[in-house]
Structure 1
Amino acid sequence: MLSLTTQDVKMGQTLADKQAVISALAEWLEQDGNVAAGYADGMLAREAQTATYLGQGIAIPHGTQECRHLVKQTGIKALHLPDGVDWGDGEKAYLVLGIAAGSDEHLELLRRLARALSRDDLAEQVRRAESRQDILRLLQGEEESSQAPVLGWRREWMRTGVEATSLAALQRAACELLNADDTERQALQASSLHLGQGWWLSQAPASGEPRAALVTTTGFEHSGQPVRALLALAVNGNGHRPLLAQLADWLLADKGQALAAMADSTALHTALARGPHAPGEDGLADNQRLVVVRNHQGLHARPGAMMVQIAKQFEADIRVRNLDGDGHDVNGKSLMKLIGLGVRPGHQLLLTAEGPDAAAALEQLVTAINEGLGEDVMPVAAGPTLVHQVQDIAPDTEMRGVGASPGTAIGPLFVEVPVHFDYPDTACDAGAEQRRLKAALAQADTDLAAAAEATHEPQARDILSMHRELLGDPALAEGAQARLQRGASAPAAWWSEIDSAATRQAASPNAMLAERAADIRDIGRRVMAILCDTPLPQTPNAPYIWVAEDIGPSDVVNMNAELVLGLVTAGGGPSSHSAILARSLGIPALVAMGGAVMGLKSGTQAILNGDAGTLHVAPTNRVLEQAKARQAQERQLAEQAWEHRNQAAVTTDGHRLEVGANLGDTAKTAAAVESGAEGVGLLRTEFVFMGRSQAPDLAQQQAEYDKAFTVLNGRPLVARTLDVGGDKPLPYWPVPKEDNPFLGVRGIRLCMQQPELLETQLRALLTAAGDRPLRIMFPMVADWSEWRFAKEMFERVQAEVQAADVQLGIMVEVPSAALNAQLFAQDADFFSIGTNDLTQYTLAADRGNGELAALSDGLHPAVLRLIAMTVEAAHAQGKWVGVCGELGADPQALPLLLGLGVDEVSVSPGRVPLVKARVRECSLARCKDLAAKALRARDAQTVRALTGEIQ
């Protein structure tokens, strides 16, 4: 970066006029090899076009665009003129900086110069300067981070085209925007400084929060100078410096008049944030890109983490600015800084990259952001208003929420009131506070690492690893450090950073955003407990149902699962990390109960039904006893099911149903076999491709698949080929952003665009299988051409590998596959019905939208008819049909699936014994009668009522 040195300053100069000053500067620049002869003419031509007086006794003459070819090397020379030189319009210049710039190297120096202009007595100090060091010191300005938070442009504090005929009237308009009090108003109206080109500055100490208002007008004169716009600042410290720097960019580019003429506040806001320096209509430099965040959740932890991962792959320094936010640049490799931008749907991001691979970095980042950074679209209602005051609840009250994990829990409630951390806001020893915070962060990281090491749940390890990444985010340390330097205590500095990021996310009506806010606050509380030496709430020593506003993922990982009967949260959603962990641990859970649940009294007896989504509070003795009897019976049945888990699932009249296990990776294959699974009915092979910077090679994939075959010991493995894209992108496999990824390029469609990945996966599966039974199925097949593409590729690879026992099938997930099942059955070896997707596509109801939970029911007659159609077509060709969706584990659905003729179901390993036991209770004949009635039913509720006939 170019800097002004003492060798570039001449003190105590006496020159006759502006032309003499410019000639002297041009001659000096030429002598030092900065410019060629003739540059003085260009500087004088610029002066004829527009005055280069900047304000506060400082002028910055420079050449025109046409004379840039004369610049040999960027340079700046300064002449100190204690007697002053008339610079036109009644202004006197005491310091004149001659600039020779063939690029934008000089702009950072000029930005710092602009920050110095806000000093009320700068002109006098410049005039009276006695040494070159004095000049440099005066031009440096103060450090931005030393006193106050950075202030940004806000569109609501801008107004264009204000009708005014005096500067006082314009100042009054600015005061109204700022909602200034009497003290601020008087100070602002007493302050006026002409910055140049019709721009004026009024500045006053802020009584409260710092603010910045910007108003433009059609134009008039004040004290012989034009008035086109006013920047009014109510500030303390120097957090407003970046605003002055951005405004100075426009003035230094001689575009102040154009900026003041912007048509509306939106255009003005965007222009200030982008800057005036770059060529082209979009106002962007070669190292900048503008991109709109179009996913419905904005930029929060999940997509932010993917963006950081991409940015970290490049050496370039990457800065990100939210043009619809406060206009600050942040480090694009910092997750917390990105979250802190508060990016909402439709916001514009300005990406700037500096470094050898800047162009590649920008291209990949823009592509990834346009794709949505892997974020799913799920608009939901706003979160509940939380209540902490205990209220009287009528006995025998049933409260409704959203079931997040199935099962029944009976026991006393433990209502966790949020812990209050007591700490001072300020401290006198910033160094000691910094060491204290560093130690707390290290301790928290150690605790998280230990928890991750101790857990046996892969999902829990992944979540805790993400928490450690957040904890180590440099943005947290940077932000806390700035607050510590301003006198904040370690807890106050830390919590301010946590609260800033979490609050932005929790305020969104999008559930995904709110759920990630829980992760941020979770790590925040962990560190606060260490800093404040305040233990987090102690849970009871006896079994209980845990009720809280939010239950952090680390809380779930660390809790005593033997004592926690169930989980209930006022907020959150079924896709939150705590809900995911509850399901993996087999703990019944309810979410989105609303604020009233926090008014319950600890110790109150309750019945939690994770299947029905209800919490029965203070039940009568009769209801309680009935529930206990039902629960005892369920436990007994579960124990019996486990004892007989290795027995076949055969109905009372001799019909056998195969029961397999759904696996998200090969690590749980042994657990699946131990639970009685007769094979793997669905291996989601995406796990091999996730968490990598590039696609796994043949050897890596083969090694993973071989692990499962070895443990299965002759049992069949049904592998679903790579199912990513749209809502589940891979960082190294970019795809265009889609308005509706569930209806976009995913599954087999995406593999058709990258056939080499599918071919490698097929080769790995077949090679790993050898003579062991392998069933391969392709996801999202909707059209005959997709099936033929996949099968022809399989046949080419199989001809080379020649695995001994292989079948090829289709996943029935979209209605077209079921409707054309008769055609597909002639060519495929089997069908596997993914009821989760089939239900959402049939009913046009997002399966992740809690508001549509009642509609999105796999027992809807329309879904059942598609299943029946698929089975009928397959059996006509002697082919088998499986169900790998969650419907297979639904006790009410299982008899229907049997009656419809399904040959196999695949469920989570923990549900295998119960499913097999349920089959043994059924009569196939009665199940067929039930299925026939269900196919004639009007809705899912009617079907579920019918299932009561099969007990």
Structure 2
Amino acid sequence: MLTLTTQDIKMGQTLATKEAAIMALAQWLEQEGHVGAGYAAGMLAREAQTATYLGQGIAIPHGTQDSRHLVKKTGIKALHLPEGIDWGDGEKAYLVLGIAAGSDEHLELLRQLTRALQRDDLAGQVRSATHSEDILALLQPSAADNTPMLSWQSDMLQLQQPADTMDELLAQAASALELQHERHALQQSLLHLGQGWWLCQVPAAGPAKAAILTTPALIHQGHKVCGLLALKTHGGSHKQLLAQLADWLVAGQAASLASLSSAHELAQALNNGPVAEGEHRLVVTIHNEQGLHARPGALLVQAAKQFEATIQVRNLDGDNQPVNAKSLMKLISLGVRPGHRLQFVASGPDAEAALSELETAVNSGLGEGVTSPHSAQQVPCTGAPADPGAPWQGVAASPGIAIGPLYVEMPVNFDYADVACDAAAEQQRLTHALQQADQSLALAAQQTGAQARDILSMHRELLSDPGLQEGTRQRIETGASAPAAWWAEIDSAAAVQAASSNPMLAERAADIRDIGRRVMAILCNTALPEPPSTPYIWVAEDIGPSDVVNMNTERVLGLVTAGGGASSHSAILARSLGIPALVAMGKGVMTLDSGTPAILNGDSGTLLVDPDKHLLAEAEQTQQRERELAEQAWQQREQPAVTTDGHRIEIAANLGNTADTAAAVAAGAEGVGLLRTEFVFMEQGREPSLQQQVAQYQQAFSALAGRPLVARTLDVGGDKPLPYWPLPKEDNPFLGVRGIRLCMQRPELLETQLRALLTAAGSEPLRIMFPMVADIAEWRFGKALFDNLQAEIGAPNVQLGMMVEVPSAALNAARFAKEADFFSIGTNDLTQYTLAADRGNGALASLSDGLHPAVLRLMAMTVEAAHAEGKWVGMCGELGADPQALPILLGLGLDEISVSPKRLPRVKARVREFSLSQCKQLAARALTADSAGAVRALTGATP
């Protein structure tokens, strides 16, 4: 049995919020070996579901069922907070107990806590306690006596009593207990237990007596009143009755007791407790947009039928009557609507496994879209303007202006039977569809660029994913048709991905749904929407990567999506193809009419619908001017980037694959400023050999023909795991084990890569840089490895540097500059770490701006420190291609900027438009500005 000791209590703590208290308790439990990393998220999720305030100044935060697997050993820790913490609904907590329990070992302790609530002024006594022994004494039950325990009977219960005030309800309680003359004493003892339940009690001569009165709708002292437990105490015979109600309070289900429709049912529920012997319960909320109708109901029934357990389900927001969860007709009869809560009760040998599967099935949407908090976060409400003539606002994903009619692609409705009688035929049908889809993706990959090939290769891997196929096979064997089974499995996998705490990873759900639709179109013999034969701006809920790869780039003028994010694969491909794109516009954009003229501005993130002639002409002039400038820039792409007053800056290319090196050189690149070498490691299922790496790097050196190559060493881990090197899940992968940190765990990987780079370079100019360096020890680890290999191999034209993408690296740049040959500023990560704004989160797009003065000051510090030691500084983040940022970057003194190959000619041309002296003045003013918007205003116009 779980017990609380003095060692488990920290007295006199001061914390500002309940979230801070929960995090402190989770960290303490983790340090003591009770839970694994991530349990705090489960505790916070539980708090979001149901407030864990128990009453009388005591709160008991604990994890959800989903986080139970993180519990290593049962434990409890307590924080004593004399100043109190607001726990919601006007309640203050002075003692917060964090619980980690893998089973029911903690229930007896929680019963003990609930019984302690009977003490007069328990909250005040807890608050004024000075020693942990005082807390233990307050929580101890009184000595047991031999008085027989009472049990609940139907005649002790009075349901749905009409009462307009608590005084009226207390009068009814006094009558039920035959204590009309003790009404004032009952009133004085009134105590809110929590979850709408109240307690009043009076000691009296004669046998103990108890009554429960429920009431439909009553508020007292700002709290809901759903039930009143009234006790006439004598000895300890009433304690069992209180403990039984306490069980429901502890389980967070006491509010549901008051909704029971009969006294017999309520008495039975109280006597049996929230979880009977051998019985397991689960409460889930239905988020399906149409509730639980036939199709999702059938999938739920199929999930239940996989198990031997007896499973009953009731609609807690309906008539609350239990029905067989394995009967579709019974399930539909519950009338479950969106937001309704279902309670499953299972008993049998596989009851726990059954409830786990049902929870997963319901939360994944049962084959349909769900209206969950996660989906609300994925689609920021940015779109519809208040003024009909104003532009729609989204997140800029790919720059440029597109002018043309809208083509609004409505989602395809696939028509198919839910069930089938021939499982073997359905499995064969699915196999053929998967093969056909794979062949289509393979053909598309042959006809596109390297970046798109990588993404389509990943899609082919998803098609052959054994987990996806096995899950579909199991559904088919339980009676589902091939399309019903496939879409249910796709929807489940996509929902799990979309729920990731990392927005960038969550956006990958679009990839899963993309391949799902491709196969569904084949299975259902349904043609996917046919776009117009004339140029258009494509509007869709989401545009899958294979859609982007297969689209006719001569006709698609721009892309607009209701959801997604700037780092989704479709956005990445749009940038690589040079197609203007907006994402995260909100669902309202799907209400626009196809054929309506519009102006898409991929720089400012706006969509102007049905513009007047003046605005249309102005946009056409801007677009034509951009085309002319782009053509002129292309013609002059081989010329160096030199300012009007003679200052030269090197403009290089950012590459994700050595195969693109020749194209970058043809576009005017003066070298490669960033080669993301992880492509070598991620494009195959096992670690590449030394020879394979050498061959890849030699391809780049050959195409560069003496131009310098800056190679970033392996930057995987966290959000970019290697398929053949599984790593523990991290709650925040961007702050986790990645880059140089990962290589320090596997130095042989870095050693092989450095050896390959030095061998491939020979006498060619090679610059090597380490990513994610935050501490001098990390830098020296990599440098020592490099020095040993260079002494052995003898490559003569090599420099060793580091990425500056962590604020600590910029702040300590003067120290790093004494040892590093160069710096390369990664503005994407430096911005998100400095501003604590995830760069993949569309909702934070306006905040996550590399022109924020705080980010610019870190850049200036880096440049100043490097130049003081005679070292050069480059920039490889996307900010280098931002036309408003470019003059400020020049003014900060950067020596090199690298951008995507398609932006090279225009960036070089822009440099030629500025004088360095003017840029320095602009940069000095930017460093003292108040915000990123103010900085952008300095450049002439905000985006």
TM-score above 0.5: yes
Partner of 2:627: 635
Deviations 1:323-358 (A, max 9, x none): 744389xxxxxxx9998999xxxxxxxxxxxxxxxx
Alignment of 1:153-172 (within 5 A): none
Alignment of 1:528-927 (within 5 A): 528-733=520-725, 737-927=729-919
Q: 2:403 aligns with which of 405, 410, 418?
A: 410
Q: Does 1:326 align with 2:318?
A: no
- Seen in structure 2, the aligned counterparts of structure 1 residues 322 and 634 have a Cα distance that, compared at 3 Å, is farther
Partner of 1:41: none
1:445 counterpart letter in structure 2: D
Rounded Cα–Cα distance in structure 1 between residues aligned with 2:816 and 2:631 = 42
What's the CA shift for 1:927? 0.9
Secondary structure, in 3 states, of the residue corresponding to 1:857?
A: coil
TM-score by length of 1: 0.60
What's the CA shift for 1:809? 1.6
Deviations 1:240-276 (A, max 9, x none): 9xxxxxxxxxxxxxxxxxxxxxxxx99998997698x
Contact 1:386 1:598 in 2 (8 A): no
Rounded Cα–Cα distance in structure 2 between residues aligned with 1:538 and 1:747 = 44
Secondary structure, in 3 states, of the residue corresponding to 1:776?
A: strand
Rounded Cα–Cα distance in structure 2 between residues aligned with 1:270 and 1:654 = 82
Rounded Cα–Cα distance in structure 1 between residues aligned with 2:921 and 2:809 = 26
Secondary structure, in 3 states, of the residue corresponding to 1:810?
A: strand
Q: 1:442 aligns with which of 431, 435, 441?
A: 435
What's the CA shift for 1:863? 1.7
Secondary structure, in 3 states, of the residue corresponding to 1:397?
A: coil
Alignment of 1:11-90 (within 5 A): none
Rounded Cα–Cα distance in structure 1 between residues aligned with 2:374 and 2:325 = 38
Contact 1:397 1:619 in 2 (8 A): no
Secondary structure, in 3 states, of the residue corresponding to 1:799?
A: helix
Rounded Cα–Cα distance in structure 2 between residues aligned with 1:386 and 1:779 = 35
Contact 1:746 1:780 in 2 (8 A): yes
Partner of 1:61: none
Partner of 1:368: none
Identity of matched residues, %: 66
Deviations 1:824-880 (A, max 9, x none): 323322221112222222222222222222222111112222222222222222221
Rounded Cα–Cα distance in structure 1 between residues aligned with 2:619 and 2:490 = 42
Rounded Cα–Cα distance in structure 1 between residues aligned with 2:604 and 2:489 = 39
Rounded Cα–Cα distance in structure 1 between residues aligned with 2:414 and 2:343 = 42
Q: Does 1:939 align with 2:931?
A: yes
Rounded Cα–Cα distance in structure 2 between residues aligned with 1:392 and 1:898 = 37
Gaps of 5+ in 1: 1-154, 190-196, 216-230, 241-264, 276-320, 329-335, 343-377
Partner of 1:452: 445
Rounded Cα–Cα distance in structure 2 between residues aligned with 1:948 and 1:392 = 25
Rounded Cα–Cα distance in structure 2 between residues aligned with 1:725 and 1:682 = 19
1:668 counterpart letter in structure 2: D
Rounded Cα–Cα distance in structure 2 between residues aligned with 1:717 and 1:928 = 28
What's the CA shift for 1:658? 0.4
Partner of 1:43: none
Rounded Cα–Cα distance in structure 1 between residues aligned with 2:498 and 2:818 = 52
- Seen in structure 2, the aligned counterparts of structure 1 residues 627 and 181 have a Cα distance that, compared at 3 Å, is same
Rounded Cα–Cα distance in structure 2 between residues aligned with 1:639 and 1:485 = 60
Contact 1:883 1:905 in 2 (8 A): yes
2:377 counterpart letter in structure 1: A
What's the CA shift for 1:677? 0.3
Rounded Cα–Cα distance in structure 2 between residues aligned with 1:270 and 1:609 = 59
Contact 2:600 2:608 in 1 (8 A): yes
What's the CA shift for 1:736? 5.2
- Seen in structure 2, the aligned counterparts of structure 1 residues 404 and 272 have a Cα distance that, compared at 3 Å, is farther
- Seen in structure 2, the aligned counterparts of structure 1 residues 324 and 513 have a Cα distance that, compared at 3 Å, is farther
Contact 1:178 1:213 in 2 (8 A): no
- Seen in structure 2, the aligned counterparts of structure 1 residues 163 and 683 have a Cα distance that, compared at 3 Å, is farther
Q: State which structure, 1 or 2, has the greater radius of gyration over its C-alpha atoms.
A: 1
Rounded Cα–Cα distance in structure 1 between residues aligned with 2:328 and 2:356 = 22
Deviations 1:659-704 (A, max 9, x none): 1111112111111111110111111122222244543332222222
Rounded Cα–Cα distance in structure 2 between residues aligned with 1:462 and 1:400 = 31
What's the CA shift for 1:528? 3.0
2:400 counterpart letter in structure 1: G
- Seen in structure 2, the aligned counterparts of structure 1 residues 611 and 767 have a Cα distance that, compared at 3 Å, is same
Partner of 2:414: 421
2:768 counterpart letter in structure 1: I
- Seen in structure 2, the aligned counterparts of structure 1 residues 525 and 828 have a Cα distance that, compared at 3 Å, is closer
Contact 1:780 1:811 in 2 (8 A): yes
Contact 1:661 1:907 in 2 (8 A): yes
Partner of 1:127: none
- Seen in structure 2, the aligned counterparts of structure 1 residues 392 and 809 have a Cα distance that, compared at 3 Å, is closer
Rounded Cα–Cα distance in structure 2 between residues aligned with 1:950 and 1:393 = 21
- Seen in structure 2, the aligned counterparts of structure 1 residues 489 and 774 have a Cα distance that, compared at 3 Å, is closer
Alignment of 1:349-360 (within 5 A): none
Alignment of 1:36-435 (within 5 A): 210=301, 234=324, 236=326, 324-326=356-358, 381-384=376-379, 396-424=389-417, 435=428
Rounded Cα–Cα distance in structure 2 between residues aligned with 1:897 and 1:620 = 37
Contact 2:427 2:482 in 1 (8 A): yes
Rounded Cα–Cα distance in structure 2 between residues aligned with 1:570 and 1:399 = 11
Contact 2:768 2:800 in 1 (8 A): yes
Tell me how large the CA RMSD over aligned residues is: 4.6
Deviations 1:7-52 (A, max 9, x none): xxxxxxxxxxxxxxxxxxxxxxxxxxxxxxxxxxxxxxxxxxxxxx
- Seen in structure 2, the aligned counterparts of structure 1 residues 932 and 600 have a Cα distance that, compared at 3 Å, is same
Deviations 1:89-120 (A, max 9, x none): xxxxxxxxxxxxxxxxxxxxxxxxxxxxxxxx
Rounded Cα–Cα distance in structure 1 between residues aligned with 2:350 and 2:486 = 29
What's the CA shift for 1:516? 3.8
Q: How many residues align?
A: 646
1:408 counterpart letter in structure 2: I
- Seen in structure 2, the aligned counterparts of structure 1 residues 866 and 536 have a Cα distance that, compared at 3 Å, is same
Secondary structure, in 3 states, of the residue corresponding to 1:567?
A: strand
Deviations 1:744-763 (A, max 9, x none): 44322333333333222222
Rounded Cα–Cα distance in structure 1 between residues aligned with 2:279 and 2:640 = 85
Rounded Cα–Cα distance in structure 1 between residues aligned with 2:723 and 2:385 = 52
Contact 2:445 2:457 in 1 (8 A): yes
- Which stretch shows the higher mean deviation, 764-773 or 492-501? 492-501
Deviations 1:625-684 (A, max 9, x none): 111101110011111111111110111111111011111121111111111101111111
1:398 counterpart letter in structure 2: P
TM-score by length of 2: 0.61
1:683 counterpart letter in structure 2: L
Secondary structure, in 3 states, of the residue corresponding to 2:402?
A: strand
2:833 counterpart letter in structure 1: Y
Rounded Cα–Cα distance in structure 1 between residues aligned with 2:677 and 2:377 = 35
What's the CA shift for 1:495? 3.9
